[in-house]
Amino acid sequence: MMPKKINRVVTTAQGTFEGIPQGNPAFTVFKGVPYAKPPVGEWRFRHAQPAEPFEGVRKCDTFPPIAVQNVERDSGCYNKEFFPAVVPMSEDCLYLNIWTPSTEAAAKLPVMLWIHGGGYTAGYGYEMEMDGEAFSRRGVILVTMTYRLGALGFMAHPELSRRCPHGVSGNMAVSDCVEALRWIQKNISAFGGDPSNVTVFGQSAGGAMTQAMLASPATDGLFKHAIVQSAGGISTLGPETTMKDMEDIGTLICEKMGKTIDELIEMDAYELTVGAEKVMFENRMFMRMVPCVDNMLLNGAPGAVIAAGKHHNVDIMTGSVGGDGGLFSRSNDPEVQRAVSMVTPRAWAKAETLNGRKPLHIYYFDRKLPGGDGVEGFKDTAFHSSELWYVFGTLSRCWRSTDPGFEAGDYILSERMTSYWANFAKTGDPNGEGLPEWQSYTSEHPMTMHFNEKTVAAEDMSGDKVVEDMANEAVKEALGK
């Protein structure tokens, strides 16, 4: 029997795209699909606009430039883990990468949109650990995106607000994610996807951006499921960030850099990014280029909207890794750090039950990867972001795969985690044939799925008094009770 010919050319209302074989040539990847108008020139500091149509066939065989970011800043272990080489960057960065097992419109495959992490200042959509082949094998389309970072993604200013027909500024990166979801609704069926079955998922800042998508009135009806990994839950790292807060920061940046808004628009994108970051560092403004409440894309801080039960009524899965507590806790006590890591998903699950919303599936990942600690302070548990190798099924790409090497249990864990994520994208339930049962969190059965190289099991962790008390306190604080 002759092998089936694979169609790698698809036509959308935007134009015709030609993909290339994945590692498994039965599947196709489309690299560098534009989802929005390039945010350059006069479009800098403005919300994302729909991509323009084009003629001819666009060959999608090369990953696009990453968003402009400060490559001079040492990211420590994260360079070795995820950013081992400098890749081309450009302000013209609003592109998708699409891995699909079929380009037949009739396939109606579930779609997963990945939003990368990196503290809103770093990262990109095709890092070492990110690949769609494991999801293709499970009948799921993976889409990864690039969104604007740092000042180019979040800076607001009174002058920018005056120039906007909606009277707002900031949240450019939020608008990028909204536009990516709109593009998927319009075009993904040509790539074999089902626009009525879209999952948004992300980790760290990408998880927080996923929460912004859950809370934004602009995304109503654009997705069906959400997975939030190592993000804020119903808590935030500081007070609600208003547009006025971001305008004040933008005003300070202009003053310290000695530039007007027009001059910032004309500046080299990299010089602007590094210069704005320097101003914020010198003024002790850490992690302040973030989504803000502009009463257009966001009517409230995502955590507060979620705590009040006013987010989109979709299926949600959320969890954390052991090392998260090392980032969000000032304590050096491993037990305290562990508790802090576990509180966020549990508090969110409690709030959902109190609000009468759908029960959450929550998890805790604590596999300490072989081959060194990774990041200083994460000596006894999984470091922040380490679960990504398992979720994407890319352990063989990690330097740890040969030095000193993963155990058989790691590969089994990865197979199961990828399957849980894919199943959730298909039905809103991670469970499936051959997998240990993952029970959702309810008041009667407060279950957490525990992931490491020896354990894949749903456990009732309500007996952990430290975590339970902290989760109850977080819920009371979030709900104002």
Beta-carbon neighbour count of residue 9 at 10 Å?
A: 13
The answer to whether the CB of 348 falls within 8 A of the CB of 318 is yes
CA distance 300 to 186: 28
Partners of residue 225 on adjacent β-strands: 199, 315
Q: Is the peptide bond before 404 cis (omega within 30 degrees of 0)?
A: yes
Partners of residue 362 on adjacent β-strands: 318
Q: Please report where in the chains the tokens 């990468």 appear, as a residue.
A: 97
Element (H, E) at 67: none
Cα angle 117-38-109, degrees, rounded to a multiple of 5: 60
* pLDDT tens-digit readout, 374-425: 554 455 678 889 999 999 999 999 988 987 899 999 999 999 999 999 999 9
Beta-carbon neighbour count of residue 399 at 10 Å?
A: 12
φ, ψ of residue 265 to 5 degrees: the values are -65, -30
CB environment 418-448: b (16+ within 10 A), e (fewer): bbbbbbbbbebebbbeeeeebbbbeeeebbb
What are the residue boundaries of the structural domains of the chain, listed by start?
1-208+225-294, 314-481
CA distance 93 to 263: 21
The answer to whether the CB of 451 falls within 8 A of the CB of 387 is yes
φ, ψ of residue 14 to 5 degrees: the values are -80, -35
92: helix, strand or coil: coil
For position 321, what pLDDT does the model report?
94
- For the chain, which ranges sit under pLDDT 70? 1-2, 74-78, 236-239, 330, 372-380, 481
Instruction: Find how far residue 412's CA is from the centre of its chain.
Output: 24
200: helix, strand or coil: strand
Question: Which CATH superfamily hosts domain 1-208+225-294?
Answer: Alpha/Beta hydrolase fold, catalytic domain (3.40.50.1820)
CA distance 390 to 383: 13
For position 411, what pLDDT does the model report?
96
φ, ψ of residue 31 to 5 degrees: the values are -100, 135
